[in-house]
Each structure stands twice: as C-alpha cells, then as structure tokens.
C-alpha cells in the first residue's frame, strides 16, 4: 500500500478532462529503423533494441495531468524468449486511461503482423479480483522483433518517481525524457553510473525538458543468490521541487509528510470511540516489563483483529473492534492508540522494502515512503503491526538494513507534532537468529544400524517461518509439514519419534523452535572391505552451495545475520576407531576491514570411544562487497563440503 496517497495532503487538483493543449508525443509512431545487434550479444536469449520512455506534465492553474509513453523493441532470440513474450500485458491502473495501445511482430522475412483488439485476452488475479488484459502474441519466431507502444493518461508522479533503464536483458539504446511547463522545477538524481539528466530550456513551446540516454547496457543478473538487483541497476529519480508561478519551494518535503503522518495516525477520539477502545484495552493482559507488555499488546491485537489490506468497510479505526478486520491505516491507528494508553514511548518509521526499492537517504522522495513500522527508542527494537508471521522484536527483514523516516512526537507551543529524521533501521543481530544442532550417532548396540538422535534449536527469523504455520493449518497438515522438515535431517529414514516444542505465533522471536528426532541410521552405513563407511555430513541438512559461480556481478546482500553452532557425537563400540578424523578439519573466514565477518570452523577430538565434532558457522553482517565474494564463497561452500564427509570406521 502506498501510504503517501492516504496520508499526504495533495498540493494539486487532478482532473481527467479538459486537457490544456496537447502532449508533445501525441503523434508518436512505430520506428522502422533497422538496428544492428553487436556480435557479443548474439547468444543472448532476448535483446532490447530500443527502450524509449517519455513523461509529460500539462498544467493550468491548479490542475495537473500526466502523459506517459513507452516504446520498446525486443529481439526474440531463443525458444525461451518466445515463451516469455507470448503474453504482453497492457498497463492499467484504476487511475490511468490508456490512450494508445499498439503491438506488432516483425518476422525474419520482413512480414509485419499488427495485433488487433481481438488478440486481447483477460485474466483475473485470484487474490485481489483485479482483471488484467494482455495481448496473446502470434507470429513469434527466433529472430523476430516484438514492438509495443503504449501512451497513458495518469495521475502525476510529482512527489517522486523512479525510472529504471536497465534490467535482466541487454539493452542497446535506452532513453528517458521528462517534459514539463517551464514554471516548474524538478530535482533529479542518477544511480549506478547512469549519466546526470540534461535540462533543455524551451525544448518545446513554453516547456522545458530533462533527458538522459544510455547505450549498450549489460544485463543485470536476476538469478544470483542473495543479490539486491534494485540497488544496483542504472536508474534515475525525479521530483517536483518548486513552482515559480506560486513561488512555492521545497515541495514534497519530509517535514510536511512527517507532520501529516503523525496527525493522521494519532487520531482524535469521540466519546463513542473512547468507550469502544476502553473495552478492548481492558481485555489486554498487562505486565510491568515494557518488552513483555509490547508483546502482549501485539499478540492480542493480531489474534483478535485480522489484517486485510483491501478492507474498507470500517467507518473509523475502532469499528475494526467489531468487524474484526482492519486495513493498514486502521491497524496503525489502533496500535498507536493502545500504545499511548499504556504510556509506551514509540515512533513511526516509514520506509520501503529494500529488495523492492532502494531507499536513498540523501534524496527525499515520498515515493520511497511506503511501509510503516513502530520503533521503541528505549528498547531500540521494532514492531511490524500488519505482519501476522512476525512478533516483536522480529519484523520483515526487507524493512531493515535500510534507511527510514523516523517520526517522533515533539511539543511546539503546547501542540504535539511529528518531527521526522532519516536514520538507519537495524535488523536484529545474529544472536537472535542463532541455530544450535546436537547430533548423537550411537553405534554401540548395532554398528550396522546406529540410533541417531538430532536436536535442532532454531532461533529468530529461521524459526519464525515454521512457528507461525501451526496457527494457520489443521493438526494433520501440521504433522505432515513437521515430518517433511525432519526429513532434511533424517534423509527420509524411518523415525522412532518426532517431538517439537515452542511452536505457534506466541513464541516467535521469544523462544527457539526445538525439533527433536530419533531415527535408525542403517542407510548411512556401508561396508567397504574390512571397514565401515558412515555418511555423517548429511545429518546437518542440505546446505546452499556456490560452486558454479565464477563471475559474480552483484555484491552479496543477505536477508539477516545468522549463526550456527553444531555438535556431533559418534559413539563407537569397544575395539573400533575412526581412521580419518582430520576430515572434519575445515577453516574458512571472510575478513573485511580487518574484522572477521563470516566464518566456518569445524574440528574433531577423540575422547576414548567417542569422536566429538564441533562446528560454528557465522554470518555476522548482511552486506559483503564484491571484493570479498571469493572468501565468502569458500565459507558457504564449506557447509556444502561438510555434507559430503564420510568417516571410515575400522577395528583397532
């Protein structure tokens, strides 16, 4: 949900008729210019030959209209590309009007196939009920060119807009132009090596323009593990900065936004709303400990009020107490009112998901203010009010490790107002998401069929993904899910017992999820001459690997810090020994700025008839620069290499 549409008071009136003059690209047509493809792109699945984007603002008095053009030519160069492009979706939002809608296919022999209205099909999003139209493209073949041209009339993006000129395909030629009345002034910024936009005064009659071009843009990989493509693509941002006619300056600033958020979410209550809220609050359990009280508030609200982003039937936020449903704004108001009642100091933090939008702390745009969480300065922790799968102090990791606008209450002349400040949002450290694994392999009773007991204690984010499931599925479904999870550690062996503790939403972020499994390990033992081979490494579960990555393009960005501590005990019968304990000796580290930020350490010691393996695997930071990738890769692959360890057992 774009909160700015609900919270920020608009500076303009928008109309959909009585256009003042014509937009400059009204007569824009398809291009028949032949574009040569460089040899180094010959093996690409598809190549964007041309991408031309234009946006124009037309205004008169207080009315503003925006027109948007997208012209794109794509070379189809593989069977996969044909499959990906057999549907071309027609852009549509409720606040848009589609003015020009053209698509054609240019085949190898030069034949041009113009798609018609009859080629437009429709499908419905099952979750939202929204209908989408698309061209069912015909005539595609390897070497064909698909060309589309859309012009839309839409709501102006004067509060801030991002234009991305690079994607997962190589682009030979990319252009963007912003056309606007000369009395308006815009602020712009380019990212990741894209040239700065060039302003041309009087580019058109009574209009200025800002434009930028880029050529031979390499593809941004979309399949690299733990990579944030959004933060590294060539793109630009712009926003309306001033209006010379009205002498308005510093428009769309965070100061005004912070004020509006604070005023809107700290709603005034009439007598009826106060009564309804008081009845609700009396049912919330209490604690003298602030951390516990916040958890009790969150658990009570999330248990009794269902978040529904599309729900709009409440007359005010306290109506949600009866309807048992609330959209985002109602939910935020409810939390704010309850926290205020309990005298819990809190701030609103407005940010955006970092894997969807890069938050630039140095370029103020309302566009990047899309999501709100609560911050408790005395505890230095966060709460996400609308996410049922998280509990304080855990929140969506996409909203952390980035910047946000922190809005706190400040008194000015006896009036409480919201004061905003850009600060960094920390994600809970690796100590929160710390997994402990204890494995005992007992060969003393039957060396060919050892009894294996594994106990896995998962904390923080690693546990949250499992803990919340219990409250959403039936008991039978839940048992099947736990059985499937346990098979990652048992290799699908026959189990004697499976026990789970601390599941359910009320334990998220508080207690570790404990999974204890006992099973028979006969499938892990193999006779080899006079020796026995015991497949030990697989018992820690399947691990991620990066063996095939030779030319990493993007730096590593993890979801959250994570630590693992593992202990494996192998209990041997009298007269037996392990011939290769050195197989467990593995040590790899990633050092950045003289600090160890990731490591894999494992070793083995023999104590009589026991072999004890100790292993720690830590990822203490989220961002690893490209220069550190090779050492990071060795740490990650150490876990996958551990999976392959087989010990040799022989008689002494």
Tokens of 310: 């599309």
- Output the pLDDT for position 3: 53
- Output the pLDDT for position 1: 44
Q: Which of 317, 286, 319 is nearest to 300 (CA)?
A: 286
- Output the pLDDT for position 19: 41
- Output the pLDDT for position 126: 73
Using CA atoms, how far residue 546 sits from 539, 549, 552, 640, 641, in Å, is 20, 6, 10, 9, 11
Q: Residues 316-333: pLDDT tens digits? A: 999 999 999 999 999 999
Q: Which CATH architecture has domain 254-425?
A: Roll (3.10)
Tokens of 156: 């102006």
Q: How far apart are CA 342 and CA 336, in angstroms?
A: 10
Phi/psi of residue 13, nearest 5 degrees: -100, 135
Using CA atoms, how far residue 375 sits from 67, 228, 348, 372, 612, in Å, is 39, 25, 6, 10, 44
Cβ(402)–Cβ(350) below 8 Å? no
Q: How far apart are CA 226 and CA 231, in angstroms?
A: 12
Using CA atoms, how far residue 596 sits from 554, 621, 624, in Å, is 21, 10, 12
Other beta carbons less than 10 A from residue 142's beta carbon? 12
Using CA atoms, how far residue 498 sits from 142, 338, 491, 503, 516, in Å, is 54, 41, 14, 14, 6
In the chain, the largest separation of any two C-alpha atoms, in whole Å, equals 96
Report the top-level CATH class of 4-246.
mainly beta
Q: Which of 442, 514, 523 is nearest to 485 (CA)?
A: 514
Cβ(170)–Cβ(47) below 8 Å? yes
Exposure string over 583-605, b if 16+ CB within 10 A, otherwise e: bbebebebebeeeebbbbbbebe
User: What one-character DSSP code corresponds to residue 399?
Assistant: G
- Output the pLDDT for position 12: 36
Tokens of 462: 């690693």
Q: Where along the chain do its domains lie? A: 4-246, 254-425, 434-651
| pLDDT < 50 positions in the chain | 1-2, 4-19
Cβ(371)–Cβ(390) below 8 Å? no
């Amino acid at each position: 949900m774009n909160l700015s549409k609900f919270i920020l008071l608009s500076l303009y009136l928008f109309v959909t008729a009585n256009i003042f003059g014509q937009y400059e690209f009204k007569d824009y047509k398809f291009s028949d210019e032949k574009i040569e493809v460089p040899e180094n792109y010959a093996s690409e699945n598809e190549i964007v030959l041309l991408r031309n984007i234009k946006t124009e603002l037309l205004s008169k008095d207080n009315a503003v209209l925006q027109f948007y053009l997208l012209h794109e030519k794509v070379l189809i160069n593989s069977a996969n590309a044909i499959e990906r492009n057999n549907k071309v979706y027609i852009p549509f939002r409720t606040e848009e009007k589609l003015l020009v809608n053209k698509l054609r296919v240019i085949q190898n022999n030069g034949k041009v196939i113009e798609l018609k209205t009859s080629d437009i099909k429709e499908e419905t999003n099952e979750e939202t009920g929204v209908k989408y139209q698309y061209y069912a493209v015909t005539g595609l073949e390897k070497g064909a060119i698909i060309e589309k041209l859309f012009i839309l009339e839409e709501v102006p993006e004067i509060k801030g807009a991002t234009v991305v000129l690079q994607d997962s395909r190589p682009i030979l030629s990319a252009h963007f132009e912003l056309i606007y009345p000369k009395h308006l002034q815009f602020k712009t910024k380019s990212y990741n090596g894209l040239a700065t936009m060039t302003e041309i005064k009087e580019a058109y009659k009574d209009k200025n323009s800002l434009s930028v071009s880029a050529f031979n843009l390499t593809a941004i990989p979309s399949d690299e593990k733990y990579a944030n493509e959004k933060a590294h693509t060539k793109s630009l941002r712009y926003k309306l900065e001033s209006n010379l006619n009205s002498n308005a300056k510093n428009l769309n600033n965070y100061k005004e936004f912070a004020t509006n958020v604070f005023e809107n979410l700290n709603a005034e209550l009439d007598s009826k709303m106060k009564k309804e809220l008081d009845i609700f609050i009396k049912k919330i359990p209490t604690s003298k400990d602030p951390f516990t009280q916040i958890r009790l508030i969150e658990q009570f609200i999330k248990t009794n009020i269902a978040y529904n982003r599309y729900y709009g039937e409440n007359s005010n936020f306290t109506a949600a107490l009866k309807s048992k449903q609330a959209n985002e704004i109602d939910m935020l108001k409810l939390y704010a009112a309850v926290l205020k009642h309990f005298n819990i100091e809190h701030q609103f933090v407005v940010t955006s998901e970092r894997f969807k939008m890069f938050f630039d702390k140095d370029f103020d745009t309302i566009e990047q203010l899309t999501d709100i969480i609560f911050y408790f300065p005395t505890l230095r922790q966060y709460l996400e009010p609308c996410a049922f799968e998280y509990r304080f102090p855990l929140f969506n990791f996409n909203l952390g490790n980035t910047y946000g606008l922190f809005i706190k209450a400040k008194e000015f002349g006896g009036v409480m107002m919201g004061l905003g400040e850009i600060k960094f949002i920390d994600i809970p450290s690796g100590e929160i998401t710390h997994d402990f694994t204890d494995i005992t392999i007992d060969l003393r009773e039957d060396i060919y069929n050892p009894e294996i007991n594994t106990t896995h204690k998962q904390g923080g984010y690693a546990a949250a993904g499992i803990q919340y499931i219990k409250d959403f599925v039936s008991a039978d479904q839940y048992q099947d899910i736990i059985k499937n999870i346990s098979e990652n550690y048992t290799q699908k062996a026959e189990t004697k017992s499976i026990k789970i503790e601390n599941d359910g939403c009320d334990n998220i972020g508080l207690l570790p999820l404990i999974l204890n499994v006992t099973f028979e390990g006969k499938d892990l033992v193999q006779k080899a001459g006079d020796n026995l081979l015991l497949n030990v490494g697989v018992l820690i579960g399947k691990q991620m690997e990066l063996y095939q990555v030779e030319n990493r393009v993007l730096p590593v960005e993890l979801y959250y810090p994570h630590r693992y501590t593992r202990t494996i005990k192998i209990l041997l019968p009298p007269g037996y020994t392990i011939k290769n304990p050195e197989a467990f000796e593995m040590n790899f580290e990633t050092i950045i700025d003289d600090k160890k930020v990731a490591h894999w350490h494992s070793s083995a010691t023999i104590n009589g008839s026991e072999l004890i393996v100790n292993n720690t695997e830590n990822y203490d930071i989220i961002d690893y620069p490209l220069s550190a990738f090779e050492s990071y890769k060795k740490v990650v692959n150490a876990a996958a290499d551990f999976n392959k360890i087989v010990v040799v057992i022989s008689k002494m």
